[in-house]
Structure 1
Amino acid sequence: MTQTQPASPAPQTDKDPWPALIALCIGFFMILLDTTIVTVATPAIIEDLDASVNAVVWVTSAYLLAYAVPVLITGRLGDRFGPRNLYLTGLAVFTAASLWCGLTTTVEGLIIARVFQGFGASMMTPQTMAIITRIFPMDRRGQAMALWGATAGVATLVGPVLGGVLTDAFGWEWIFFINVPVGIAAFVLALRLVPKLPTNQHRFDWLGVVLSGVGMFLLVFGIQEAHQYDWSTITGEITVWRMIIAGLVVIAAFVWWQAKNSQEPLMPLRLFRDRNFSVANLGIAAVSFGFTAMGFPLMLWAQGVRHYSPTESGMLLIPMAVVSIVAAPVVGKLTDKVHPRILTGTGFTILTAAMAVSALILAADTPLWQILVAMGFVGLGSSFLWAVLTATATRNLPLELAGAGAGVYNALRQVGAVLGSAGIALFIDSRLAAQGLEQAGGGEGAVQKMPPQIADRFSEAMGQSLLLVPAVLVVGFLAVMLFERPKHFGAATSACSAVPVPAAPAE
């Protein structure tokens, strides 16, 4: 049995912690890159594997779902068996699954491989934050968290760009093959540079894991497959509506069990007594929904209507990435000085407007500069959201709840992404059908370079689908208007280090 030792205050090693952080960020960058890198390769995968748009959207949904559900408990597994060990195990699983993804010859095989990728990613993410918390002293932890946050933002934004370059130059398989050498290098670096840390015992809420997993699967599958089955029977007596309702019932049972569980619930409900924590979770779920959903219609339009290559399609998002990277440090300096309601309200306003404009101007003959300007404003809006929502989420929480709070925050961020992937698949299918282009949603005809007579209708369908994103972002805007002034506002650091810390032993 593993010897249980009390955790001591960070740092727990005399070594410089920065090399360990760099090693962790390489793996973290890779797993977040894979949440968005597939979108630009969607048309190539559809054509090569003779798959439908909906089936290929499952390539992303399966990854996000397998990433989101276990992340609530993998942080505690890191406490029990060591965060370094869980990180290395997850990295090995992720890297092996990436090779599997590239070698598969069917969309079904690709979806299964992506599930294993998601499991690997779910083991890695909480460990990065737990290790940072325990190897950096409080006065340098903010800088470390800033680098971690910048890694997350850059990975999410550059995924489609890199995906386009790799798909164009080598084929869609290489968006997965590229992970193999990077994963091996990250594994060696982490093995050498990340220190071993003491472990703690935990009671694991396995019933909570099962209920949350089953509920999310039923809900996501029902939403994403709804139009495919015309909102009716899937098989036997199982209907789309029954599956969605069953998912909601199981999720309600999960919430009930979390309230009843007096040991160590997977999601301590007392976290939500803090208004800022609850608001930040709703806000980040809306943002994650939007950024996951927007790529699919935009990339299908760019390659199907405008006949852009994957590289050219990915380059449409360069203004978004550049503006976000430039603006994020400026906004970061304001996080401890300006009320989060002002910063996030500004971000949601800009982002919602930019997404709405992008949807409304999408047409076969839309001038390129209009799309690029809109994407620049998307990047500007996002720069006011990622870091501020993360910093505000656990700022008010007591130290003993920081780990649990961060686990819930990261899980709900991924849940937003899962629902974004499922929701946009439903809207694309329904809008194509409304335009009389239902056959464009499946098989090789999905994104073949289309003649002018149907390009206008396809563009309108993609624009209408994209309107789902600003509609959801409005919910995020309304939520952040409820932010309160954080406790200890203006302090350089707080007990919770201004950034959520997944499941680390109490210090």
Structure 2
Amino acid sequence: MKTAVDKPHLPAGDELGPGTSPALAALLAGTFVGTMSNNILNVPLNAILTDFDADLGSGIFVVVGFLLTFAASMPLAGWVGDRFGRRRVYCAAMLGTAVCSVGAALAPSLLVLVIWRSLGGIAAAAIVPAVMGLITWLFGPARRARAVGAWAAVNGIGQAIGPSLGGVVSDWWGWRWAFAPLVPIALIGFVATLRHVPRYPGKKMHLDVLGAVAVTVGAALFVLGITLIPQDRVPAVASVALVLAGIVTLVLFGVHSRRTADPFIPIRLVLEPRFLRSALAVFVLMFVLSALLLALPLYLTDSGLSTTQAGLMLFVLPAVMTCVAPVVGRVVDRIGGRVVMRSGLSIMIGSQVALAITLSSGVRNSIAIAAILVVAAVGIGMVQTPAAAGSTRSRAGAVGTGLGLFNLIRFGGSAVGAAWVGIAAHLATEPYALLFSVAAVVALVGLAGSFVGENPLDV
């Protein structure tokens, strides 16, 4: 595979790039659909289990199937975008998302629903690296962080709306209608992309089949093992074996990639400090966010709040992230991402310590908890945009498989964070001090890692 980072020619200034607001909006439609597809069935899951007369051990694959194919397919999806053209692959992914949403809504059995959801994960996986790659291509350095800030804001909106919309629609019309909003948004994004986004030509590339299979299978085994750790019906030894098998496969992939002349993912580019710092930061971000989104509703409902009240309280987190993202994008464009990202990681550490102390003390004051959530959301928002912008500015970020790997690490952090909630619940009767103390340590590791291999010229 060619690892040169040359890009197709566009007739515009290098600093600004030719990207337009309609083009960005077309790409953000895919971001929104992909984020909502990921979490729209989290709340209606019990209704699905009731409808199909299934237990949680079987029904959990409605969620796990999507997450598994979504995360594991990203590096390969990045390669496909480079090979056949990112706009073409993005449009195909939007149509695929619409088809899979209709198929899932009409599924006659749980098995068919899991199959459609797993296929939908593959379609959504193609959206993420294509969107990031097209934003990098269309928006020059002077506007890129601002465009990435808009991308981060839409991610926050999708995280906020997806679970709530899925629950409301399921209560009113049934869980099958939860897929209805995804179809028109995907089709609108498809049409807008054809109209406003220039063609991104593909190029002939060699596929390192062994490397592609190894990273995809390794990632799938790792994510599956991590996801199944909290499941009571799955023996702990089986989950650990899957995780270890995934790690071993990924290590073998790394060894193979260093020895082959034309690797699936160019390791020498991935080892660039800027990419590594960004990847570590986004892993930390998603670990903390996923743990928060899972653990806090449990605490709030156990404290006597209704599901609706807990949902409204939790809405503070993505709502603030959405508001912060555009501002962070402008600041990053002006002063660079390092200071912003490190400040955000420091704020995240403080917020996780505050949650550990507050929740372990049994505090029920909604205003106090909401205030901590606001602080946490500001920190997360200050990390998300510079981490994504840093990845696109790295040499690995100019390669589709590099962007795919970045997003694999991103959603791997989400899986590990979710698994940690279940593990902490098994380790302690009152798990919140342990849970959020570890989250603070993870954020601290991310902060320390942001200084590794620092180049004063990097922003």
TM-score by length of 1: 0.76
Give 1:315 shift: 1.4
Q: Gaps spanning 5+ residues in structure 1: where? A: 1-5, 233-238, 436-459, 490-507
Relative to structure 1, the CA distance from residue 475 to residue 111 in structure 2 (aligned partners, 3 Å threshold; closer, same or farther) is: farther
1:246-298 CA-partner distances (Å, limit 9, x unpaired): 222211111111112211x2221112442232122111112112222322233
What letter is aligned with 1:383? Answer: G
Relative to structure 1, the CA distance from residue 291 to residue 113 in structure 2 (aligned partners, 3 Å threshold; closer, same or farther) is: farther
The CA distance in 2 between the partners of 1:53 and 1:424, in whole Å, is 17
Does 2:296 correspond to 1:293? no
Contact between 2:153 and 2:321, CA under 8 Å: does it hold in 1? no
Question: Of 426, 438, 446, which aligns to 1:476?
Answer: 446
Question: Of 391, 396, 400, which aligns to 1:393?
Answer: 391
* Pairs within 5 Å for 1:7-86: 8-11=8-11, 17-41=20-44, 58-86=61-89
Relative to structure 1, the CA distance from residue 294 to residue 7 in structure 2 (aligned partners, 3 Å threshold; closer, same or farther) is: closer
* Pairs within 5 Å for 1:136-155: 136=139, 141=144, 143-155=146-158
- What is the aligned partner in structure 2 of residue 201 from structure 1? 204
The CA distance in 2 between the partners of 1:27 and 1:135, in whole Å, is 16
Contact between 1:288 and 1:413, CA under 8 Å: does it hold in 2? yes
Give 1:221 shift: 3.0
Identity percentage over the alignment? 28
* Pairs within 5 Å for 1:338-417: 338=335, 340-362=337-359, 366-395=364-393, 397-398=394-395, 401=398, 403-417=400-414
Give 1:138 shift: 6.2
What letter is aligned with 2:10? Answer: A
Contact between 1:211 and 1:254, CA under 8 Å: does it hold in 2? yes
Relative to structure 1, the CA distance from residue 298 to residue 57 in structure 2 (aligned partners, 3 Å threshold; closer, same or farther) is: farther
- What is the aligned partner in structure 1 of residue 275 from structure 2? 277
Relative to structure 1, the CA distance from residue 172 to residue 324 in structure 2 (aligned partners, 3 Å threshold; closer, same or farther) is: same
The CA distance in 1 between the partners of 2:389 and 2:397, in whole Å, is 17
Give 1:412 shift: 1.6
Relative to structure 1, the CA distance from residue 66 to residue 481 in structure 2 (aligned partners, 3 Å threshold; closer, same or farther) is: same
Contact between 2:145 and 2:332, CA under 8 Å: does it hold in 1? no
TM-score by length of 2: 0.83
The CA distance in 1 between the partners of 2:85 and 2:367, in whole Å, is 50
The CA distance in 2 between the partners of 1:462 and 1:104, in whole Å, is 38
**Which protein has the larger Cα radius of gyration, Structure 1 or Structure 2?**
1
1:12-42 CA-partner distances (Å, limit 9, x unpaired): 8x99843232122112211023334444445
- Three-state SS of the structure 1 residue aligned to 2:38 is coil
Give 1:50 shift: 6.0
Question: Of 231, 243, 251, which aligns to 2:236?
Answer: 231
1:34-55 CA-partner distances (Å, limit 9, x unpaired): 3344444456556666666666
Relative to structure 1, the CA distance from residue 393 to residue 135 in structure 2 (aligned partners, 3 Å threshold; closer, same or farther) is: closer
The CA distance in 1 between the partners of 2:358 and 2:70, in whole Å, is 34
| Number of residue equivalences | 448
With 355-364 and 150-159 compared, the bigger mean Cα shift is at 355-364
Contact between 1:65 and 1:217, CA under 8 Å: does it hold in 2? yes
Give 1:121 shift: 0.9
With 254-263 and 107-116 compared, the bigger mean Cα shift is at 107-116
Contact between 1:54 and 1:224, CA under 8 Å: does it hold in 2? no
Give 1:485 shift: 4.5
Give 1:196 shift: 3.0
1:33-81 CA-partner distances (Å, limit 9, x unpaired): 3334444445655666666666665544432321222221223322332
Does 2:255 correspond to 1:256? yes
The CA distance in 2 between the partners of 1:40 and 1:187, in whole Å, is 28
Select the structure that is richer in helix.
2
The CA distance in 2 between the partners of 1:313 and 1:99, in whole Å, is 30
Contact between 2:62 and 2:114, CA under 8 Å: does it hold in 1? yes
Contact between 2:149 and 2:325, CA under 8 Å: does it hold in 1? no
What letter is aligned with 2:321? Answer: S
What letter is aligned with 1:19? Answer: P
Contact between 2:39 and 2:162, CA under 8 Å: does it hold in 1? yes
* Pairs within 5 Å for 1:50-129: 58-104=61-107, 108-129=111-132
Provide the alpha-carbon RMSD of the alignment.
Answer: 3.5
